[in-house]
Amino acid sequence: MKNYASFTLIILISFLGLSCQAQSNNTNSEDIYKYKDPNWDGTGKVYLGREISHVMGFAGKDWLERAEREREEGIAAALENLPINSKSVVADIGAGSGYYTFRIAPLVPEGKVYAVDIQEEAISYIQQKSENLGVQNVFPLKGTEKSPNLPQGEVDLVIMVDVYHELSYPQEMLSAIYKSLKPDGKILLLEYKGEDPTINIKPLHKMTEKQAKKELKANGFELVKNGKFLPIQHYLIFQKTE
């Protein structure tokens, strides 16, 4: 009888332990997000003090491909300063129309560019454009709101061009990116300068350097370069802290 009671106690403790673990697992990272009445063009979802903006849909493709973008954003300088070589593996997250994807591809002839997007229209568009241009090192990849679905430990550089502020789950996405990067892999954020009210971009589609550093630091990244050569965007390169 004593042995039976001991066995029952062990089972009960084990059950409670599993129950607590399940509750812990269910207490997911949603707990880190706050919610408020949304501002115009905002989702009402707040991460570390910043309201997450709505995503610009693929319907905005023409704006991404506008002729004046080179002049306005200094695209040539942005590409010239990428921390890559001919063999680099680059992931363009939120690739959209592939504006940056197809400009990076020739710079890594022995490497590859993953063009990541959560919109099927964008993936199909990039796939078709790759075939039309005969580009062999661009690989369209369907991501999710929480992961770019990149192979682990393969990527040298993740680039997000005016994308990070739209991520619905920035913590989950950064965690997945962390795993996809090589030990010395980097993240490049190009974001319209939130410190400058004269930049004619919706407020929630801009970010300050301070806020970007705050969020990336919370997820295991440190700022290693702040390129100040672009006219209206930050050029922030982050690397794993360990």
CB neighbour class for 67 (10 Å; exposed up to 12, middle 13-18, buried from 19): exposed
Looking at residue 88, its pLDDT comes to 98
Output the six-digit token pair for 76. Answer: 């040539």
CA distances from 206 to 6, 35, 202, 234 (A): 61, 20, 7, 10
Domains by residue range for the chain, with CATH: 32-240 (3.40.50.150)
Determine the number of helices (DSSP H) and then strands (DSSP E) in the chain: 8, 11
- Closest of 68, 123, 54 to residue 94, by C-alpha: 123
Looking at residue 25, its pLDDT comes to 38
Consecutive 10-residue averages of pLDDT for the chain (242 residues): 40 37 43 95 97 87 90 97 98 97 98 97 97 98 98 98 97 98 98 97 97 98 97 97 84
Length of the chain: 242
Looking at residue 58, its pLDDT comes to 82
CB contact at 8 A, 177 and 156: no
Output the six-digit token pair for 3. Answer: 């042995």
- Closest of 183, 187, 162, 221 to residue 84, by C-alpha: 187
- Angle between helices 209-217 and 170-180 in degrees, nearest 10: 70
Output the six-digit token pair for 49. Answer: 């003090």
Q: Residue type at 220?
A: G
| pTM assigned to the model | 0.87
Looking at residue 208, its pLDDT comes to 98
Looking at residue 24, its pLDDT comes to 36
